[in-house]
A and B are shown apart, each in its own frame.
Chain A
Amino acid sequence: MRRYSAFAVAREAARFHTGWERAWRSPQPKKKYDVIIVGAGGHGLATAFYLGKNFGITNVAIIEKGWLGGGNTGRNTTIIRSNYLQDPSAALYEKARSLYETMSQDLNYNVMFSPRGVIMLAQTEHEVRGYKRTAHANMLQGVETRFIGPEEVKKLVPIISLEGPRYPVLGGLYQARGGTGRHDAVAWGYARACSDMGMDIIQQCEVTGVRSSGGKVTGVDTTKGAIDCDKLGLVVAGNSGALANMAGFRLPMESVALQALVSEPIKPCMDVVVMANTVHGYMSQSDKGEMVIGGGTDGFNNYTQRGSFHHIEETVRALVETFPMVSRLKMLRQWGGIVDVTGDRSPVIGKTPLGNCFINAGWGTGGFKAIPGGGWATAELIAKGEPGPLSAEFGMERFIEGRFIDESVAAGVAH
C-alpha cells in the first residue's frame, strides 16, 4: 500500500495523477477463511481491522451484499459523542471517541474527525436534572462533559433561539471533545487498511444461508458460492434479524427506519452539533455548508430504507422553532436507513447460540459514533471467544438476567 501524504500528492501532481493505486482489492472469495465477517459497514470493517491489528488474524473475509459502507455507515448524521449515563456505555463509546481522535493517523486516511463539540439541549426541568445527572456520572467515568447554562449555549450557538414558542432553552449537556467525522471515509479507511493486511473484502455478495453442524457454524452460502470459516461474525445492523433467522436463532431486536436530511449549502453559521431531544431535532453543519439534520424513527418494522413523511415534518418543525433562520432553507436530500433497536436501546456484542458465531448488532440509532470501539470489542470477542472488558456487559444474556443497560432515557431518541 502506497502511503497517502503531502509528498504523494506532489509526486502525483507531477505525473498527472497516473500513479494512484486502488484503495482496496476486489478479490474472488477463497474456499475457506479463519474468520468471516458478514457486513462491510463501519463496525464490520473495524472488527476485521482490529482482528488483524490487535490479534494478528488476517485470513479474514468481509462479505457485503451491497457496496461497502452503503448501509447505515453512509446514511447517518456523523455525530460522535460519548456522554452516556451508564458505566458500560460510557466506557465503550468513550473508547470509540478516543480512537476517532487518532484514526486518520492510524489508518493513513483522512476521516476528517472534527471535535467541534456537541450540545444536548435541556428544554424542560426534567431534562436539566437528567443532564446534570449525566454530567456527574460522566465525571466519575472520566468522560469530559459539563452542564452549561443558556448564556453559554447562546455564545456557542449564536443562531439558536433561547425562547422557543414551546420550550425555552434552560441549558445543555456539553461535550467539547465530541463532534463529527466523515462517515464514508471511516469505512474506506478501514477497508483500505484491511485490504493491505491481506483481508478479502467481497462486495455484492449476499449471504443466503448459514451452514452449521453440531451447534457450530461451518460456513456460509452466498451468491458467490459457499465459503467455509472457523469463526463467523455477524455485523449487519438492520438485517441482523434476517441473518439470525438463517442461523436459526432469534434476537431481542426489531428493525425500523430512521431518516435524515440535508439542506442546501449555506455559509458557516454553526460550528457545534446541537441536539434538541424534547422537540426532537438535531443539526450540524457539514464542511460543504449543508445543514445535516437527523429525524426520527417509525414505530413499525420496516426494511425499505425509507421512512414516513410525517417524521420529516416533525423534525423540521422542531428545528425551525429552535433555529428560526433555517425556516427559508431548501432541503436537498432525504434518505432512510434501517436500524435494529433493542429493548434497552443498548447494543449487543456477544456470543450467539452457535458456539463459534458472534454478533455485533442492536446499535439502533447510534452506531456510527461507536464504530472503532465496537470493532475493537468485537475483534477481541471473536479472537478470544470470550468477551473482553469493553463488551462484557453487552451480551444477549442480559435480557434473560434482567441486567439491562438502560440508555433509552439517558440518551433519548436522538442517539
Chain B
Amino acid sequence: MLILECPYCGVKGEETEFHAGGEAHLKRFGPGSSDEDFETYLFMRENPKGVHLERWRHANGCGKWFHAARCTMTLEVFGTYSAQTLEPPKEIKDILTAKRPGWSWRNFK
C-alpha cells in the first residue's frame, strides 16, 4: 500500500485517497505540432524499472495535483513536490541520488 503526503495540504494518506495521473513533466504540444510530437506527448512513456516521476491528485482531500518521485520496483515513495515546476526540486534530486546513486529519468539526473 502506497502512503503519499500531499505537498499542498500536508495530509498523509494511503493510495485510495489519491488518484494516479501518469508520467510527470510531459512536454505538451498544441495545434500545428508534428505528428511525431503529438505521439511523444500523448502516448510514448518512460515506463522505467526504478525511479519514476509521476503525477497524483489528492482526489479525496484538497483536490490538488502534485508530483511524486517513486520507485516502480519497490514502491518506495522518495518524496512529493509541487506540480508548479518543470523539474524535480533539489531536495528530491538529493534524496534520489542518496538512495538510487546514478539514477536518471528522461533528461534529469
Contacts and interface: CB of A to CB of B under 8 A. Distances in A.
Interface in B13-35: 15-16, 19-20, 22-23, 35
B49 to A, nearest CB: 5
Given A299-B19, A300-B54, A250 B44 contact: yes
B1 interface: yes
Given A252-B39, A254-B22, A303 B49 contact: yes
B74 A304 contact: yes
A20 interface: no
A347 to B, nearest CB: 14
Interface string A236-279: 00010110010000111111000000000000000000000000
Interface in B38-81: 38-39, 42-49, 52, 54, 70, 72-75
B72 A251 contact: no
Given A252-B39, A400-B39, A300 B45 contact: no
Given A300-B2, A301-B52, A400-B35, A250 B20 contact: no
B46 A250 contact: yes
A296 to B, nearest CB: 13
A254 B49 CA distance: 11
Interface residues of A, number: 27
Interface centre among B2, B43, B47, B74 (most CB of A within 10 A): B47
A406 to B, nearest CB: 13
A310 interface: yes
B20 A300 contact: yes
A340 B46 CA distance: 12
A399 B43 CA distance: 7
Q: How large is the interface on B (under 10, 10 to 19, 20 to 34, 35 or more residues)?
A: 20 to 34
B36 A400 contact: yes
Contact of A301 (B35, B43, B72): B72
Interface string A368-386: 0000000000000000000
A253 B43 CA distance: 7
A241 B45 contact: yes
B11 to A, nearest CB: 18
Chain B interface mostly: mixed
Contacts of B15: 300, 308, 310
Contacts of B47: 241-242, 250-251, 253-255, 301, 340
Interface in A287-341: 298-304, 308-310, 340
Contacts of A299: 19-20
A303 B73 contact: yes
Nearest to A242: B49
B16 A303 contact: no
B44 A308 contact: no
Contacts of B49: 239, 241-242, 303
A298 B64 CA distance: 20
A251 B48 CA distance: 11
A402 to B, nearest CB: 8
Contact of B43 (A241, A242, A343): A343
B4 to A, nearest CB: 10
A401 interface: yes
A251 B45 contact: yes
Given A300-B2, A310-B16, A399 B39 contact: yes
A294 B38 CA distance: 34
Contacts of B54: 300-301
B44 A304 contact: no
A250 B20 CA distance: 21
Given A301-B52, A301-B54, A303-B72, A250 B2 contact: no
A310 B20 CA distance: 14
Given A299-B19, A300-B54, A302-B72, A252 B45 contact: yes
A308 B1 contact: yes
Nearest to A343: B43
A310 B1 CA distance: 9
A402 B20 CA distance: 25
A50 to B, nearest CB: 28
Interface of B: 1-2, 15-16, 19-20, 22-23, 35-36, 38-39, 42-49, 52, 54, 70, 72-75
24 contacts: A239-B49, A250-B46, A250-B47, A251-B44, A251-B45, A251-B47, A252-B45, A253-B47, A254-B22, A254-B23, A254-B47, A298-B20, A299-B20, A300-B70, A301-B48, A301-B52, A302-B72, A302-B75, A304-B73, A340-B47, A342-B43, A343-B42, A399-B39, A400-B36
